[in-house]
Structure 1
């Protein structure tokens, strides 16, 4: 029995456990089912919402696409269907499937933004439409675009209208670029709300009004470019708050007032360009705080006062351009500290005093322009240290003393201009070392001595101007080596001797001016080789002999002046080949023979002066072809015969002087056609004067 009891007792737990397990399993299944229903009811609306959002984004972009021109629509052929994340060109998406970035820069898009519903792009982070042909205004609903957007670039398009104040709502923006469009009106003060902005490009528009004080709230800015607009008023002092700024471009505007002292707080600046405005007042000494500055452009303003000594603290500077202002006083010696300087432009100011010896410490200089000032004293010999110099402009000052021999050490020079000073002494022979020189201007000084033979070593020269000095001696034959020369000015000196035959080797010459010297001998026939010559001035010398027949080969000539010499013989008929001639001066010589009939071929002539010679024969009737003539001087010759009837065809004439000849016959009635005539000299001839009675 005990065993039996035991057996009955052991079965009881099994009977109890079995229903409990069943109940538990039923409860578990119910819970799982309930969880599934709950999850399904919760997840279905979210998925549905995302799908609706994606559909809306696709519709928004497709609607915009259909508003663009046909070529653009073809370009965006990948934009179709309801999934904008499925291989749509220029579109990328979040992992959730929502549009995150649209990058269509430089795609040739043409159209407007009017049909782009920005509010249907709620998760957009970047929108790049740079460098297309989009036009029209930016829609007012731009403020409804995603508040997450960090990058917005509409630059280099054709947008018009004003910059919408709604942009101020896009407070996540780090880059805003609206440059190179046609935006007008003011910069909206709401731009000050964009506290995360690191880059602001508004350059090359037609913006006007003041730079808003609120610009100073953009403390994260690295790059601020407002150049090439019509902005007026002062630079706001709040700009000093932009301590992270590395680039500040305000050039080519109409800004006025002084440069604020607070500019010196921008200690991160690398590039400061305030040029081409109407800024006045001094350069603030605080500018010396900008120790990271590599470029400082303040040129073409109305700045006054002296260059501050503190400029010498900007030891990182590569480019310093203060030209075309009203700066006075000396060039500070501290400028010698700027050892990294490659370009120094101080020209067109009112600077005075001497060029500091310290200028020779700027061994990295490529360009040094100190021209058009009131600088005095000598050119410092230390200038010879500037071995990298390619351009040296010291012209239009009051410099004195001689050209230092050390100038010959500047073997990288392309352009040397020391003209319009009071330099004395001779041209140093060391100048022959400057084999890369293309331009040499020493004109309008008080230089003396001869032209050094070494000038012929400058075989790269295009332009050589030594005129208006007191140079003596002959023109060196070595000048014939300068085969690249297009301009040669030696006029207004005291040069003597003959014109060297080698002048004919300068076949690239356009302009040859040897006038107002004491040159003797004949005009070399080799001059006929100069087929590119447009100007030939040999007047006011002591040249003799005949005009060479070869002069007729110079068919590009506009201006031929051989007057005030002792030339003899006849005017060569070949002169009729010079069909481009506008000025022909042969007056004040000893020319004889008749005026050639071929003179009538020079139909471009404005000014013909053959006076004060010994010309004989009659005035050729072909002269009537010169319909552009305003001045005709044939006076003081030995001309005979009658005044040709054809003179009346010269209806542009202002000045007609035929006096002091042996002209006969009557004055032709056709002279009455010369209605523009202000001067008519016919005196001292043998003319018969008939007075016709005028009946009232």
Structure 2
């Protein structure tokens, strides 16, 4: 007798014994549900959180943890929610889940259930939602699952299934969302998928699927097609052949991921029909030809990745003018000509990778207007000439790789972490800023460089090279990133201003809060910080004239010891750094209040209205006592003198997708209401620890974070609260329920 047979006999015996001791007040129906749940509990071997402690014969099963009974049938189970409980046990066919005939909702994700999907689940004809993501399930996806005709959402990703996707899955015509990512599935994509009536989310990435992409947009007049899809993810499989032209019929498509396959031919021009597309990933394939200009019709495009293909020809100017990309990767292709000047129109661009192509000419000065750039990768091309001084405007630039080109001239001192190796730079290497850290720079292959810190082991500079440096470097380059970066941090919340004792002869200027700030000249600030060394920054303000007669303004604030809120919410990253960070409920509430005060001050605290435009966790800084400050104010993002009657502006303010309101993507106008929207998203993220990202599978059913939270109100708040909040369950439920209701 094998283990499975033993367990089957054991469960039958338990079922019979329990039936003898079940109170007679139970009806036959609710007694069946009661005994089925107890049998399910028996199949669970490990319950680290005590999630099933309330599952006993003395408590009505409708009050058990994770169990919801219906309104029409108050004695029947309609939902089981045991997600993220650390449970270890079997979901073998021998559990009696098929007897829960009124069951509509199953949430078992993020546990360690093993075995196969119970075939008798097909008897739960009322099921509309099944989520088994991230477990240890194995075996084939049972054909019987195709009998759940009312099923609308099926999430089976991150398991170790085998075999094919059942062709009969097309019988589930009501299915709107299906996730089979990282399941070990083989074979072709079933053509029966086209029978879905209201599809919105199809995730088949990271499997071993083969064959071609079926004509997903083919219209079937009787039973519909996939034209309603919003998210289509087929990346990291073994699909081959061209992209079907019928894909141009999926007019509602927002995310398309086909990277990491063996797709060939050209990108069809019908992509221009997908005007709602904001994320397109075609990387790591065998596409060829030119990049189609029809992509310019995708005016909402925010992420475009065409890297590691065989594209050739110039970069289309039309795409740069019409889209709003904040991530653009065209690396590892055979693109030619120069970088178009139109790149300067991408003011929201955060990362640009054009490396490993055949681009030539000068690095355009217009890149200096891409004020949101954080990463710029132009290595392994044919660029020549000097590094344009306009790049000094990129105050947020942290990574720059210009290696393996034909660049020449002197090295400016304003650069951040950089790779300038194998070029033709000459003259003295700066010794300030990033040039003090040998691990942050790479200068090999530039034989005419001299000076720098001793660790670089470069020859000393002659008088000729020093004179050349003085000729080439202007005063703005000497100011550099240190002051510009700090000047971008304006802390408008709860100013805890620790001033040093000032010189009685120095003038003061009033601040918005009534505190008087020490006013310094440019020369004072330059001298007092030893050339703007980061170790010597003071607390103060400066409005003066630099040595070339240009206006110079700077705001310098205290270092915020606790870093950004983003690092405290992403506890996994913190663990990897050797420190486990977590915020309790009171700390999160205090931070939310601090940010609310800051937002109110920006909008109402002075005569002018200031629109932040990018409220998100990485822009919230925390000081030693966890007081929150709002940061990341680029000077181009501050709008002043806006009439009270008109709180919108057409100034291009950077925003991060997921945090800015949808209307920002349809026009250039911004408003104070947009900041209020961003604040609401920020608070929801703080208390659920879920990012408002379209790539988050857990939000796919609801579409976005606000709908995800709204769907849990008022009875399922505890299911969405961040489990890392350190506080008693009763207090969490009370406080989080009030916060969520107030926000919505």
Is the structural similarity TM-score above 0.5?
A: yes
Q: Decide whether the 8 Å contact of 2:299 with 2:324 is kept in 1.
A: yes
> Does 1 or 2 have the higher relative contact order (CA < 8 Å, sep 6+)?
2
Displacement, 1:174?
Answer: 1.0
Displacement, 1:466?
Answer: 2.7
2:184 matched to 1:188? Answer: no
**1:238–1:489 CA distance, 2 compared to 1 (3 A):** farther
Structure 1 residue runs without a partner (length 5+): 1-47, 481-486, 501-696
Match of 1:611 in 2: none
How does the TM-score come out when normalised to structure 1?
A: 0.58
Match of 2:234 in 1: 250
Match of 1:143 in 2: 122
Displacement, 1:312?
Answer: 1.7
What are the Cα deviations for residues 201-245 of structure 1, in whole angstroms up to 9, with x where unaligned? Answer: 111210111111111112311111111111111111125532222
Larger Rg: 1
**1:93–1:83 CA distance, 2 compared to 1 (3 A):** farther
Match of 1:153 in 2: 131
CA–CA separation in structure 1 for the residues paired with 2:254 and 2:398 = 29
2:43 matched to 1:67? Answer: yes
Displacement, 1:139?
Answer: 2.4
1:353-502 map, 5 Å: 353-424=337-408, 426-427=409-410, 431-434=412-415, 437-438=416-417, 440-447=418-425, 449-451=426-428, 453=430, 462-471=439-448, 474-476=450-452, 479=453, 488=456
CA–CA separation in structure 1 for the residues paired with 2:302 and 2:135 = 33
Displacement, 1:64?
Answer: 2.4
Match of 1:287 in 2: 271
Displacement, 1:454?
Answer: 7.6
Q: Decide whether the 8 Å contact of 2:36 with 2:99 is kept in 1.
A: yes
How does the TM-score come out when normalised to structure 2?
A: 0.55
What are the Cα deviations for residues 275-302 of structure 1, in whole angstroms up to 9, with x where unaligned? Answer: 1112111111111222112211111112
Match of 2:21 in 1: none
Q: Decide whether the 8 Å contact of 1:184 with 1:205 is kept in 2.
A: yes
Displacement, 1:274?
Answer: 1.2
Q: Decide whether the 8 Å contact of 1:55 with 1:82 is kept in 2.
A: no
Secondary structure, counterpart of 1:327 in structure 2: strand
CA–CA separation in structure 2 for the residues paired with 1:212 and 1:315 = 32
Match of 2:260 in 1: 276
2:86 matched to 1:108? Answer: yes
CA–CA separation in structure 2 for the residues paired with 1:90 and 1:187 = 30
CA–CA separation in structure 2 for the residues paired with 1:332 and 1:378 = 17
CA–CA separation in structure 2 for the residues paired with 1:432 and 1:217 = 61
**1:488–1:344 CA distance, 2 compared to 1 (3 A):** farther
Match of 1:220 in 2: 198
Displacement, 1:126?
Answer: 1.0
What are the Cα deviations for residues 441-493 of structure 1, in whole angstroms up to 9, with x where unaligned? Answer: 2221233x412658668567742223323526x415xx47xxxxxx84859xx
**1:79–1:468 CA distance, 2 compared to 1 (3 A):** closer
2:186 matched to 1:208? Answer: yes
CA–CA separation in structure 1 for the residues paired with 2:343 and 2:394 = 14
CA–CA separation in structure 2 for the residues paired with 1:155 and 1:459 = 48
What are the Cα deviations for residues 21-61 of structure 1, in whole angstroms up to 9, with x where unaligned? Answer: xxxxxxxxxxxxxxxxxxxxxxxxxxx99921211222222
Counterpart among 164, 168, 177 of residue 199 in structure 1: 177
CA–CA separation in structure 2 for the residues paired with 1:418 and 1:303 = 26
Displacement, 1:180?
Answer: 1.0
The two structures, once aligned, show a CA RMSD in angstroms of 2.9
2:100 matched to 1:121? Answer: yes
**1:404–1:452 CA distance, 2 compared to 1 (3 A):** same
Displacement, 1:88?
Answer: 2.1
Q: Decide whether the 8 Å contact of 1:84 with 1:99 is kept in 2.
A: no
Secondary structure, counterpart of 1:264 in structure 2: helix
2:299 matched to 1:315? Answer: yes
Secondary structure, counterpart of 1:312 in structure 2: helix
CA–CA separation in structure 2 for the residues paired with 1:381 and 1:100 = 62
**1:68–1:417 CA distance, 2 compared to 1 (3 A):** closer
Match of 1:162 in 2: 140
Counterpart among 206, 212, 231 of residue 209 in structure 2: 231
**1:148–1:49 CA distance, 2 compared to 1 (3 A):** farther
CA–CA separation in structure 2 for the residues paired with 1:319 and 1:488 = 38
CA–CA separation in structure 1 for the residues paired with 2:257 and 2:451 = 48
CA–CA separation in structure 2 for the residues paired with 1:82 and 1:183 = 38
Number of residue pairs matched by the alignment: 434
CA–CA separation in structure 1 for the residues paired with 2:49 and 2:327 = 49
CA–CA separation in structure 2 for the residues paired with 1:312 and 1:232 = 31
**1:77–1:464 CA distance, 2 compared to 1 (3 A):** closer
Match of 1:565 in 2: none
**1:344–1:488 CA distance, 2 compared to 1 (3 A):** farther
